[in-house]
Amino acid sequence: MILHQGDAAEQFFLLTSGQGAHFVITSEGRKVPLHWLTAGQIFGGATLLSVPSHFLAGTEIQTDSCALVWDRQTIRALASEFPLLIDNALSIAVTEHLALLTAAQVSLSTEDAAGRIVRLLTSLACGIGRNGPEGVEIQISNEDLAAGANVTPSTLSRSFAKWQHDGVLTKGRGRVVIRKPELLLSSF
């Protein structure tokens, strides 16, 4: 855990290697993944605000990772000296986060469960997937996949069973290997 939902926004990060994820915990205690992070991405942007704030989501690192970190006073001083930092942070907030919100809302409104799973797997393959001899490997749990696609674990299992039977993907503990992306995309 790097940041906890509700913590004071006192640190700003640049992920230099590895991967992680933003998530929220619902009032019922359910963990809902929001956005996966890869090397080169920043997080903790609320630290740049002129008025002290709190983080709306938690952030965890899921693999061996390295991040640079600045405290609030230091990053705000750097932003004052180099206004391009604020421009870049705002650009990221608008383009990445608003695009994710829009895509999620459109997906929920227009796609069935299998379509949402395919869209999430495709997005994760491009973002955090690693090419290997068997296909594109994604390190992720069933719980995170089900929550990210807004489906039940049993719906996810049924879809995976069909796709495994068809040779489209293989599912292991904490990982999915997409063997035939073209068949995955044509399956819904």
List, in sequence order, every beta strand (DSSP E) within the chain.
11-17, 19-25, 31-38, 42-43, 58-61, 66-71, 130-132, 135-139, 169-172, 175-178
pTM: 0.76
Q: How many angstroms from the chain centroid is the CA of residue 66?
A: 17
H helices present in 93-152, as ranges: 98-110, 113-127, 142-149
C-beta atoms surrounding 67 within 10 Å: 21
The chain-wide mean pLDDT, for the chain, equals 90
pLDDT digits (tens, 9 = 90+) for 85-136: 988 888 877 777 677 777 777 877 888 999 999 988 988 898 888 999 999 9
pLDDT score at 188: 64
Q: How many angstroms from the chain centroid is the CA of residue 176?
A: 16
- Given a contact cutoff of 8 angstroms between Cβ atoms, the answer to whether 24 and 5 are in contact is yes
- How far, in Å, CA of 43 to CA of 35, rounded? 11
pLDDT score at 84: 93
pLDDT score at 168: 94
- Given a contact cutoff of 8 angstroms between Cβ atoms, the answer to whether 142 and 180 are in contact is no
Domains with residue ranges and CATH for the chain:
11-109 (2.60.120.10), 112-186 (1.10.10.10)
Q: Which residues of the chain have pLDDT under 70?
A: 97, 188
